[in-house]
Amino acid sequence: MSLGSALKKITERRLPNIDDHNELVVNINEILDEVESIERTLAMMRRQDSGGGGWFFAKIGAYSGDGDNKFKYTWTEVEKTDVGYTVGAWSVLDGGRAGTEENGYYARNLTEYGNADTGTLGNGVAVASLVGTFQIKPATSGIVVMMQQVVMTDGDSEYWFSYESGVDGACP
C-alpha cells in the first residue's frame, strides 16, 4: 500500500461527516500522529534495506546479568552529529531503534557469547586466573558500538555487538 492510499484510508476513516470544528482538529491531529508513525516505520525500513542486514551505531546503556559472566544491555540508536572525538558527537537518532526493559530488545555482546563460570572467557582471560575480587566487567555504559540486528529463523530479532570486556578487581 502506498503512503498516499494509506493516508486516504486514514482520512476516510477519521473524517466522515464531521460538523464540529473541535472534533475536526482532534481528528486531523490524530491523522498527523499516524503519518509520523508511518514515516518512522518507513525510515527504519529504508535503514534496514540500505544496510543489507541491519548494521547501525548504538550507544550502550544499562546492563544486567544474563548468565555466568554474561550481560544483557539496553541501548539506543545514534547518529554522528559532530567531528572526531568531540564530546556529544553522537546523538540519539530521531525515530531510531532502542532496546529497553519495556520492549525487551536487549543487546548482547558476541565476546561474552561463550563465557561460563569456568574455562577461558571471550576476552582470552582464564576464569581460574581471576583471583581476589577480579571479575569480568560489562561493556561500559555510554560507549558507542556497531550493532547488528539479527533476524532469527522464526522471524524474531535479536541485537548483537562486539566489545572487548575488561577485567577489574582487587588482589587478595
Per-residue confidence (pLDDT) for residue 157, from 0 to 100 = 86
Query: In the prediction, which pLDDT does 14 show?
Result: 60
Whether 28 and 81 map to the same domain: the answer is no
Are 72 and 118 in the same domain? yes
> Both 34 and 67 in a single domain?
no
Q: What does the pLDDT profile of the chain (172 residues) look like in tens digits?
A: 566 666 666 666 666 566 666 777 677 778 877 877 777 666 666 555 544 457 899 999 999 999 999 999 999 999 999 999 988 899 999 999 999 999 999 999 999 999 999 999 999 999 999 999 999 999 999 999 999 998 888 888 899 999 999 999 998 8
pLDDT (0 to 100) of residue 62: 97
pLDDT, position 87: 85
Task: Return the pLDDT at 50.
Answer: 43
Q: Are residues 78 and 131 in the same domain?
A: yes
What one-character-per-residue DSSP string does the chain give? --HHHHHHHHHHHH-TT---HHHHHHHHHHHHHHHHHHHHHHHHHHHHHHHTS-EEEEEEEEEEE-STT-EEEEEEEEEE-SSTT-TT-EEEPTT--EE-TTT---EEEGGGTT--SSSB-TTS-BGGG--TT-EE-PPPTT-EEEEEEEE-TTS-EEEEE-----EE----
Do 94 and 157 share a domain, yes or no? yes
Q: What is the pLDDT of residue 39?
A: 72
pLDDT at residue 109, rounded to an integer: 97
* Host domain of residue 36: 3-51
Residues 35 and 82 in one domain: no
Q: Are residues 14 and 73 in the same domain?
A: no
Q: What pLDDT does 127 receive? A: 92
Q: Say if residue 41 is in the same domain as residue 59.
A: no
